[in-house]
Amino acid sequence: MEYWGSIEKPIVLLGCAYLSWKIVTHIWSFLNIEKDPITVLVTGAAGQIGYALVPMIARGAMLGLDQPVIIHMLDIEPAAESLKGVKMELIDAAFPLLKDVVATTDVVEACKGVNVAVMVGGFPRKEGMERKDVMTKNVSIYKAQASALEQHAAPDCKVLVVANPANTNALILKEFAPSFPAKNITCLTRLDHNRALGQISEKLNVHVGDVKNVAIWGNHSSTQYPDVNHATVETAAGEKPVRELVANDQWLNTEFITTVQQRGAAIIKARKLSSALSAASSACDHIHDWVLGTPKGTWVSMGVYSDGSYGIPAGLIYSFPVTCEKGEWSIVQGLKIDEFSRAKMDATAKELAEEKSLAYSCLN
């Protein structure tokens, strides 16, 4: 009996191990069922930002490392050959998550079935042009694209406007896609948010990942207000307020703000080209957090449709601090606003109201 018992035990153990392995592999295969692809539209895809953005999307930076994607790229007819070259490069890169690529100059084809639309294409202001001239051009562009999105995109399509003037272009798009939920049309101020994080990390010589909860209020322009009053840094002794660690209110209220406001111009001066890599990366961050959620206790900045929070007029696309959960953003409520902040927030709101009036005059 002792002899058989000594053999039976290993056999039983091996049987249990085999059964456990079969269960684990079955669960693993179930969990690794490939997700349905998400279709992402990038307009102005042959341009600098588009060229930097599409490989980030294809690699999973925007929607997750396990999320297959289909990329639709749209550009104007003169850029058709360049757009074809971008498609060739995406194919040549053999991205495992990239299930298909469409490169087109047809706005209807580009918008068909898209779940996420990143609007990079727009008419840039050129030397000698008046603001109204630029606005008239962009009204025309966004009117056509809004109509195509409304008719052909997925009903729950999330829209991010990157092309400047981003806030007002987003407002124009909303005007001509009235059936789109207002919460689904946003503009990019995450670039400014990330720039603010970078400036604080450089000033304090800490890792940028340890800095959180800066806020960008208002317009993606030189009137924006980068606010650190609620920002913190993770230290060995726990979270500490940025103002306490910097210990220089003069710098925070002047140089820091102007550096973030003018960062785009500084990059143009240095590169002789506008921000592309950082804009593309920030666009990925914006959509990633909107779709997949912000970490608990952390907020980000998004240009969203104002509901009157913090005394900002309803009906503007204005940058607020937001949290995201289950594909929905919510404006962070209850933040204390001091007199200095109030003046800055109102000044950028005034500029946005003026841009809105100008855009509506172009519509008429």
State the catalytic residues: 220
DSSP code, position 218? B
Strand partners, 215: 227
> What gap in Å lies between CA 289 and CA 280, rounded to an integer?
14
Tokens for 261, please give them: 């406001």
> What gap in Å lies between CA 179 and CA 154, rounded to an integer?
12
> What gap in Å lies between CA 266 and CA 264, rounded to an integer?
5
Round the CA-based radius of gyration of the chain to a whole number and report it.
24
End-to-end CA distance of the chain: 98
Helix ranges (H only) for the chain are: 2-31, 48-59, 80-93, 107-111, 131-152, 166-175, 190-204, 242-246, 249-253, 255-261, 263-271, 277-292, 339-363
Best CA proximity match to 194, nearest among 292, 301, 266: 301
Neighbouring residues of 179: CB distance < 8 A, sequence distance ≥ 6: 150
Query: CB-based burial of residue 92 (10 Å sphere; 0-12 exposed, 13-18 middle, 19+ buried)?
Result: exposed
Residue at token pair 């102005």: 44
